[in-house]
């Protein structure tokens, strides 16, 4: 399906000017530059859009950039058959309509010259200065001939690092991807899908985090059309059927307009249609769509105080839906977004969602960081900087970007970086927690005290033994809420290290990479210490459980769960070893560990030999009543599948596991080696009796040549 032909935004989106005919532009561009006394016709539309936001802009630099771009790309054609110069022109137009300043537009015109022509960065720097050169370099791809399969992840790493110093780099990249997605129909279907998936997993989350909603929503619709064509067509049909003269939102909008006019509030009331993906989400949430679900009311006012005045009038003159009220003006989102959200009941019970914001808030909501202009321009009223700084302070750099730039330095492997980047960007909400020294930490929603410890102390957090949250002792696994005060507690013994359990609770890439890196440097610590496993608190290996509880009571475990195992001492606490995850009918051996608990292993577990070598006497253990069901929650087991690499292998294995009624607790797939792939799954089964059937089902998957029990716990996450 051609993404451009689908044009998902066309039926609903109101544009300030019609989309430019790129074929006409191509014909104009082929005529080449004109005399110095006037602007080339091919960028007159860019100039018009630019002057709409910046009336006093100097267009001389744009003219010179166009002349260089046109001459260097002359003779090159896009796969669609259009002259290549139409691409940088279209990208520049997108940014101009969002309100980008001249430097960004200049770099946008030149963004492919270094990558695809004989123009060098030195030439760009000589003719247009350091800033334009930096932006062009930031969006220039790395060569596959030099980086191979790592070219794409390393290119994104390069762009993100450049974005850390200048957010305009990512603005250009997002506009570049949008135009490429609009014209993706000329590509092979498999390449369309690959590009669409990267756009979904990386570019759309970045557009959301940078607040560029205008680009994000259109990218979402284009990806939707390519990856989910059937659902897209269903949504298109629903929107087409709902388009008509009897729009219930029109009636409510008229009532709101009259209400605000009578109250003396100057406001503009618009109907803001939902884009395709938004309609699809509402449909999945509510089932049957109402007439008012295809759009929302947008009320634009002049001042912040007017927003609350509008809110008061609406809640007074209409019946409000209180559960729908959100104040993103007093508490802006982490991507600069500000607005009041509410919903009111109109005539005949129709419920309309309402967005209330100032004109400036609306501009920022649409264009995000692009609307901020040049964030590095010197304020003429500000005193001159006396001490030069090597690192340019970026007033637009949000906390998530700083965290990303920190952890990417530790993710030296391209595959690790690529996987971690996607996981990080999938966390689309942030919280702010306070440190006891008065500072703050920005963390993703769902972050725990483990994440706070590594965010505050870096590698020193390896010695964490607990935390205080809002003044009370808490476990490191405690999930933090927005506004909490957290104080990680560190052990005095700097030789201690993290626990594998911490990976279950870490949500930030920085914490996960640091913990994984520690275990890579200490391979002997990657499995539980046979002498202290399950008897000590997480992260304080070698210390008795009682001592750990005295130092940090909140870190003690909540007690063993029923194991279905019988040992010689009926009063002893019994735990199933995490290193070998025994299930019936495994033969068992137990050992008394510190604290008096008995840890039970599979008889062939390597930890058994280790315990016997240090002189520990085994404890007889067996499954209770010959059944050995762990509990109503079922049994847990770790399996390793060895296979040859092929498409859809992971999907087929996952389907086989689900068919066997097993739940996946965690899964890892190691990088392919000589066309062989190793999958490790930690699974929970309703009954251990189903384990042989599960292993047979996994072996029956095409390409899988062996499935076995793991001897050590799989890394999680």
* Residue 13 CB contacts under 8 Å (≥ 6 apart), including other chains: 273, 275
Query: CA-CA distance, 552 to 200, in Å (whole number)?
Result: 43
Closest by CA position to 454, among listed 401, 397, 521, 502: 502
Tokens of 85: 């110069």
Q: Which of 7, 116, 131, 525 is catalytic?
A: 116
DSSP string, 138-189: HHPPPPHHHHGGGHHHHHHHHHHHHHHH-THHHHHHHHHHHHHHHTGGGS-H
Query: CA-CA distance, 402 to 163, in Å (whole number)?
Result: 10
Tokens of 547: 């001592």
Residue 41 annotated among the catalytic residues of the structure:
no
The answer to whether the bond into 585 is cis (omega within 30° of 0) is: yes
Residue 501 annotated among the catalytic residues of the structure:
no
Query: CA-CA distance, 158 to 464, in Å (whole number)?
Result: 33
Q: Which of 7, 115, 231, 247 is catalytic?
A: 115
Tokens of 251: 């009636």
Q: What 3-state DSSP class applies to 296?
A: strand
∠ CA 391-421-171 to the nearest 5 degrees?
A: 55
Query: CA-CA distance, 135 to 600, in Å (whole number)?
Result: 60
Largest CA distance in the chain: 98
Closest by CA position to 220, among listed 181, 268, 271, 166: 181
DSSP string, 535-582: TS-TT-TTS-HHHHHHH-GGGS---PPP--EEES-TTS-EEE-TTT--
Query: CA-CA distance, 420 to 349, in Å (whole number)?
Result: 47
Place of tokens 């040992």: 567
Closest by CA position to 341, among listed 370, 368, 365, 367: 365
Closest by CA position to 59, among listed 73, 48, 71: 48
- The burial class, CB within 10 Å (0-12 / 13-18 / 19+), for 595 is middle
Q: In this structure, what are the phi and psi dihedrals at residue 200, rounded to the nearest 5 degrees?
A: -65, -45
∠ CA 17-246-267 to the nearest 5 degrees?
A: 55
Distance of CA 169 to the CA centre of its chain: 19
| 485-490 vs 430-435, strand pairing mode | parallel
Q: What 3-state DSSP class applies to 260?
A: helix
Measured in Å, how far apart are the chain's first and last C-alpha atoms?
A: 35
Query: CA-CA distance, 382 to 372, in Å (whole number)?
Result: 18
Is residue 441 within 8 Å of residue 433, measured between CB atoms? yes
Is residue 530 within 8 Å of residue 607, measured between CB atoms? yes
∠ CA 253-257-262 to the nearest 5 degrees?
A: 150
Catalytic residues: 115-116
């Amino acid at each position: 399906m051609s993404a451009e032909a689908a044009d998902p935004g066309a039926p609903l989106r109101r544009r300030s000017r019609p989309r430019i005919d790129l074929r006409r532009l191509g014909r104009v561009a082929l005529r080449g530059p004109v005399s110095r006394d006037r602007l080339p016709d091919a960028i007159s539309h860019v100039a018009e859009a630019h002057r709409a936001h910046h009336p006093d802009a100097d267009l001389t630099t744009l003219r010179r950039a166009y002349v260089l771009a046109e001459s260097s790309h002359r003779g090159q054609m896009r796969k669609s058959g259009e002259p290549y110069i139409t691409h940088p022109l279209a990208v520049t137009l997108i940014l101009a309509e969002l309100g980008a300043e001249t430097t960004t537009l200049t770099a946008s015109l030149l963004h492919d010259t270094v990558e695809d022509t004989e123009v060098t960065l030195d030439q760009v720097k000589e003719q247009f200065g350091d800033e334009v050169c930096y932006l062009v370099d930031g969006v220039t791809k790395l060569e596959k001939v030099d980086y191979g399969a790592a070219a794409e992840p390393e290119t994104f790493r390069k762009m993100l690092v450049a974005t850390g110093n200048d957010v305009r780099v990512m603005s250009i990249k997002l506009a570049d991807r949008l135009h490429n997605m609009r014209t993706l129909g000329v590509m092979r279907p498999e390449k369309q899908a690959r590009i669409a998936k990267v756009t979904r997993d990386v570019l759309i989350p970045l557009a959301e985090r940078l607040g560029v909603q205008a680009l994000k929503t259109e990218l979402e619709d284009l990806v939707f059309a390519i990856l989910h064509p059937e659902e897209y067509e269903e949504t298109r049909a629903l929107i087409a059927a709902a388009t008509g003269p009897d729009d219930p939102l029109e009636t409510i909008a008229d009532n709101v307009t009259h209400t605000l006019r009578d109250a003396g509030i100057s406001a503009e009331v618009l109907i803001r249609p939902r884009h395709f993906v938004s309609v699809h989400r509402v449909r999945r949430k509510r089932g049957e769509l109402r007439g008012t679900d295809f759009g929302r009311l947008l009320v634009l006012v002049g001042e912040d105080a007017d927003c609350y005045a509008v809110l008061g009038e609406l809640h007074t003159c209409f019946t409000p839906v209180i559960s729908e009220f959100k104040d993103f003006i007093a508490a802006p989102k982490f991507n600069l977004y500000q607005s009041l959200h509410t919903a009111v009941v109109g005539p005949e019970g129709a419920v309309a969602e309402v967005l209330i914001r100032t004109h400036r808030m609306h501009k920022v909501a649409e264009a995000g960081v692009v609307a901020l202009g040049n964030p590095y321009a010197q304020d003429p009223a500000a005193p001159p900087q006396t001490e030069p700084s090597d690192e340019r302070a970026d007033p637009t750099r949000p906390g998530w970007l700083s965290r990303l730039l920190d952890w990417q330095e530790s993710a030296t492997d391209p595959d690790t970086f690529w996987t971690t980047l996607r996981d990080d960007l999938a966390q689309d909400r942030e919280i702010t927690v306070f440190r006891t020294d008065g500072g703050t930490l920005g963390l993703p929603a769902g972050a725990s005290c483990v994440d706070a410890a590594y965010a505050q102390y870096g590698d020193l957090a390896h010695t964490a033994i607990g935390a205080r949250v809002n003044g009370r002792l808490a476990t490191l696994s405690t999930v933090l809420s927005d506004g909490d005060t957290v104080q990680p507690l560190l052990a005095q013994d700097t030789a201690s290290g993290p626990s594998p359990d911490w990976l279950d609770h870490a949500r930030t890439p920085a914490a996960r990479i640091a913990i994984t890196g520690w275990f890579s440097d200490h391979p002997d610590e990657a499995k539980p210490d046979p002498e202290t496993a399950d008897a000590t608190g997480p992260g304080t290996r070698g210390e008795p459980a009682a001592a750990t509880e005295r130092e940090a009571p909140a870190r003690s475990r909540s007690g063993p769960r029923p194991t279905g195992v019988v040992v010689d001492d009926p009063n002893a606490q019994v735990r199933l070893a995490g290193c070998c995850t025994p299930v019936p009918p495994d033969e068992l051996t137990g050992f008394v560990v510190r604290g008096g608990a008995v840890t039970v292993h599979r008889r062939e577990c390597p930890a058994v030999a280790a315990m016997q070598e240090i002189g520990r006497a085994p404890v007889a253990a067996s499954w209770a009543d010959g059944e050995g069901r762990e509990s109503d929650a079922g049994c847990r087991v770790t399996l390793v599948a060895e296979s040859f690499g092929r498409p859809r292998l992971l999907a087929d294995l996952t389907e086989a596991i689900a068919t066997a009624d097993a739940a996946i607790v965690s899964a890892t797939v190691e990088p392919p080696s000589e066309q062989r792939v190793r999958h490790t799954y930690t699974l929970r089964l309703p009954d251990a009796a189903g384990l042989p059937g599960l292993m047979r089902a996994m072996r029956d998957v095409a390409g899988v040549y062996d499935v076995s029990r793991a001897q050590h716990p799989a890394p999680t996450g």
